């Protein structure tokens, strides 16, 4: 419930602080006194977009702050979903800065307008002529029926499975599209894969083949160079090993004279060992080396295959070709497996569809069972509100597909006159009739669910005195389980309130300001008397006012 409201620097309000109580709160005032300003300020708290033109003094900050007691509203999950700290006394503040920028806070935490609207609609319902049009909206009509049918949990379960059902359908479409694309590419991918598989590629083989090709292609020249190298190493007259052996012999004699000679001797010995090893390697190479035209042809052919594949796939290494081969293999296998995946997906969809049908049927049965009760209650309340011949036909028809709230299509058909034709609400009910129907629905809903604070904005427009008295009684009954505000011009309704506020204008320092004042019992008598007979309150008007209040 709304417990406190502070408005600063908004429209004709300089600064306003007011506290509210439970029960039925009446707000009255002459036309143009500023009741719409009060509603405008509350709308900002509920997340309406701000307008700098509504600021009284645009050199100062505009602030609207509302405190709500939400202990009974079960809103912890909403706070958690919006990542907000839950407080049983929740403060919502809206600021409009001189720059025109707007800021919003919930319990001093900055929030965006979406979060403000999500929470706001759970706290305060401002019922205006515009909201009466909700009656003709399918979603609102379903909300009414489902509230009475206690379909909340069934709808939550249904919605969860419907989301999964839609995801599976999207995934199936993607798989089928993928299959169509894959089938177009399958032949080509299979051809490319076979080409790579036939090449029998091995990582690192390109460098090995290139080296082998160079050797086989230049075998005569290599033989010649190796033979010369062999001669240079072991020729008796000029061979390096023979000369180095003689040098070693000479320094072996000198090594005993000085460490310097001994050091050179060791180095010569090391060099000789290394040259002996080189000689052995050269001999091995000579023995292994032989011309092999067939092998040269094989190597050249394999190199040509690899070169062609590198060019075809625009890569530079065999390793990259192997990666392409693996990728093509995966694509081919995946294409071959798509039928299985699609079949599994179709089966999963059929299973979920069956579950959805069951849940939709439960929702439908609950709705069907409660419709007679809703129809009876509506017609009974409307009879007391001056519509004795009002009749409803609420029709549920099976839909062709799964909808967001089940598998039903709904029609609220209405006839205001005896023997009249039933037609859609928006075509058969006047504005005044829609207001009374909405009041009846809100009254019924208040018995089945915890409604937010409701503020009726002149719902009694165009209603006679006796009917307004009945409307007031209904609002009184509603206020026993929830906080109800009503802005009214009718004394019969004003007299039913537990608390009475008056909106009025006054001039302060030649500046017109809107004020909101809680009336004392005597002031309330005068206010209702003026509503009955104008500003010149007679004794009979006073007496009538007292009678209404009693």
Could you tell me if 200 and 122 lie in one domain? Answer: no
331 lies in a domain? yes
Q: If we measure between CA atoms, which residue out of 498, 499, 453, 493 comes closest to residue 473?
A: 493
Supply the CATH number for residue 86's domain.
3.40.50.300
98 lies in a domain? yes
- Tell me what pLDDT residue 427 has: 80
Could you tell me if 89 and 10 lie in one domain? Answer: yes
Q: Of 292, 312, 337, which marks where a domain is finished? A: 337
pLDDT band at 361 (very low <50, low <70, confident <90, very high): very high
Is the pLDDT at 196 greater than 80? The verdict is yes
- Tell me what pLDDT residue 74 has: 84
- Tell me what pLDDT residue 131 has: 64
- Tell me what pLDDT residue 59 has: 86
Token digits of residue 500 = 């009475």
Could you tell me if 123 and 209 lie in one domain? Answer: no
- Tell me what pLDDT residue 132 has: 66
Mean pLDDT of 367-396: 93
Q: Do the beta carbons of residue 431 and residue 425 sit within 8 Å? A: no
Edge-to-edge order in the sheet of strand 391-403: 391-403, 406-415, 423-424
Q: Of 337, 358, 384, which marks where a domain is finished? A: 337
Average pLDDT, the chain: 87
Torsion angle, CA of 307/308/312/315, rounded to 10 degrees?
-10
380 lies in a domain? no
Rg (CA), the chain: 47
Q: If we measure between CA atoms, which residue out of 59, 24, 66, 62 comes closest to residue 45?
A: 66
Domain enclosing residue 183, as ranges: 178-337
Return d(Cα 156, Cα 159) in angstroms, integer. 5
Q: Which residue has the tokens 């399958």?
A: 186
- Tell me what pLDDT residue 130 has: 60
Could you tell me if 60 and 184 lie in one domain? Answer: no
548 lies in a domain? no
Q: Do the beta carbons of residue 142 and residue 152 sit within 8 Å? A: no
Q: Do the beta carbons of residue 154 and residue 366 sit within 8 Å? A: yes
Q: Do the beta carbons of residue 531 and residue 489 sit within 8 Å? A: yes
C-alpha of 448 from chain center: 30
Could you tell me if 328 and 192 lie in one domain? Answer: yes
Mean pLDDT of 268-273: 87
Return d(Cα 534, Cα 544) in angstroms, integer. 13
Q: Do the beta carbons of residue 106 and residue 67 sit within 8 Å? A: no
Return d(Cα 429, Cα 421) in angstroms, integer. 12
DSSP character for 55? B
Per-residue pLDDT tens over the stretch 409-423: 999 899 988 888 898
Per-residue pLDDT tens over the stretch 8-66: 999 888 889 999 999 999 999 887 777 888 888 888 988 888 877 788 888 889 999 99
Could you tell me if 40 and 182 lie in one domain? Answer: no
Return d(Cα 180, Cα 342) in angstroms, integer. 12
Return d(Cα 266, Cα 268) in angstroms, integer. 5
Return d(Cα 463, Cα 436) in angstroms, integer. 9
- Indicate the number of domains in the chain: 2
Of the given ranges (255-259, 270-274, 354-358), which has the lowest mean pLDDT?
A: 255-259
> Which residues are 93's β-sheet partners?
65, 105
Angle of helix 219-234 versus helix 240-254 axis, rounded to 10: 30
Q: What is the pTM of this model?
A: 0.67
Return d(Cα 483, Cα 479) in angstroms, integer. 5
Mean pLDDT of 363-386: 94
Per-residue pLDDT tens over the stretch 481-520: 899 999 998 999 999 999 999 998 888 788 888 889 999 9
543 lies in a domain? no
Helix (H, G, I), strand (E, B) or coil at 473: helix
346 lies in a domain? no
- Tell me what pLDDT residue 550 has: 81
Is the pLDDT at 377 greater than 90? The verdict is yes
319 lies in a domain? yes
347 lies in a domain? no
In the chain, what percentage of residues exceed pLDDT 90?
Answer: 37
Q: If we measure between CA atoms, which residue out of 275, 253, 276 comes closest to residue 265?
A: 253
Torsion angle, CA of 129/130/133/134, rounded to 10 degrees?
-110
Per-residue pLDDT tens over the stretch 277-322: 888 888 787 777 777 778 778 878 888 888 888 888 888 888 999 9
Could you tell me if 287 and 199 lie in one domain? Answer: yes
- Tell me what pLDDT residue 498 has: 94
- Tell me what pLDDT residue 156 has: 93
Per-residue pLDDT tens over the stretch 129-182: 666 667 777 888 898 999 999 999 999 999 999 999 999 999 999 998 888 887
Could you tell me if 328 and 468 lie in one domain? Answer: no
């Amino acid at each position: 419930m709304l417990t406190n409201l502070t408005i600063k620097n908004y429209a004709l309000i300089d600064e306003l602080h007011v506290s509210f109580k439970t029960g039925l709160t009446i707000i009255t005032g002459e036309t143009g006194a500023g009741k719409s300003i009060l509603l405008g300020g509350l709308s900002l708290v509920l997340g309406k977009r701000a307008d700098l033109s509504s600021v009284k003094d645009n050199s100062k900050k505009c602030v609207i702050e509302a405190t709500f007691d939400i202990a009974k509203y079960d809103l912890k999950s909403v706070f958690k979903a919006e990542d907000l700290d839950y407080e049983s006394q929740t403060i919502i503040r809206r600021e409009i800065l001189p720059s025109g920028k707007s800021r919003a806070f919930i319990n001093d935490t900055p929030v965006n307008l979406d979060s403000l609207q999500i929470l706001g609609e759970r706290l305060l319902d401002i019922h205006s002529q515009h909201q009466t049009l909700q009656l003709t909206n399918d979603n609102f009509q379903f909300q009414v029926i489902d509230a009475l049918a206690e379909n909340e949990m069934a709808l939550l379960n249904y919605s969860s499975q419907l989301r999964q059902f839609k995801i599976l359908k999207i995934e199936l479409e993607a798989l089928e599209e993928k299959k169509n694309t894959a089938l177009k590419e399958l032949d080509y991918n299979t051809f490319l894969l076979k080409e790579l598989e036939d090449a029998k590629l091995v990582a690192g083989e390109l460098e090995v083949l290139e080296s082998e090709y160079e050797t086989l292609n230049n075998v005569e020249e290599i033989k010649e160079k190796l033979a010369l190298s062999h001669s240079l190493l072991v020729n008796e007259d000029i061979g390096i090993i023979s000369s180095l052996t003689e040098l070693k012999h000479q320094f072996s004699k000198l090594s005993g004279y000085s460490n310097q000679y001994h050091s050179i001797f060791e180095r010569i010995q090391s060099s000789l060992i290394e040259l002996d090893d080189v000689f052995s390697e050269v001999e091995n190479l000579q023995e292994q080396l032989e011309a092999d035209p067939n092998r040269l042809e094989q190597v050249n052919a394999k190199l040509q295959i690899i070169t062609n594949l590198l060019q075809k796939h625009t890569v530079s290494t065999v390793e990259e070709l192997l990666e392409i081969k693996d990728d093509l293999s995966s694509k081919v296998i995946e294409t071959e497996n798509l039928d299985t995946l699609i079949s599994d997906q179709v089966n999963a969809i059929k299973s979920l569809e069956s579950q959805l049908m069951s849940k939709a049927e439960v929702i439908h049965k609950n709705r069907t069972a409660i419709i007679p009760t809703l129809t009876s209650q509506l017609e009974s309340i409307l009879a007391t509100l001056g519509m004795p011949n009002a009749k409803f036909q609420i029709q549920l028809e099976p839909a062709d597909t799964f909808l967001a709230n089940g598998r039903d299509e709904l029609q609220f058909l209405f006839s205001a006159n005896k023997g009249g034709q039933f037609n859609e609400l928006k075509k058969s009910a006047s504005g005044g009739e829609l207001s009374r129907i909405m009041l009846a629905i809100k009254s019924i809903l208040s018995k089945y669910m915890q409604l937010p604070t409701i503020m009726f904005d002149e719902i009694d427009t165009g209603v006679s005195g006796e009917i307004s008295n009945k409307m007031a009684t209904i609002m009184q009954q509603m206020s026993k389980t929830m906080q109800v505000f009503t802005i009214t011009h009718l004394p019969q309704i004003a007299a039913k309130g537990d608390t009475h506020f008056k909106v009025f204008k006054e001039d302060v320092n030649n500046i017109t300001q809107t004020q909101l004042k809680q009336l004392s019992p005597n002031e309330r008598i005068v206010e209702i008397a003026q509503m009955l007979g104008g500003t010149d309150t007679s004794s009979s008007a006073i007496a009538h006012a007292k009678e209404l209040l009693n």
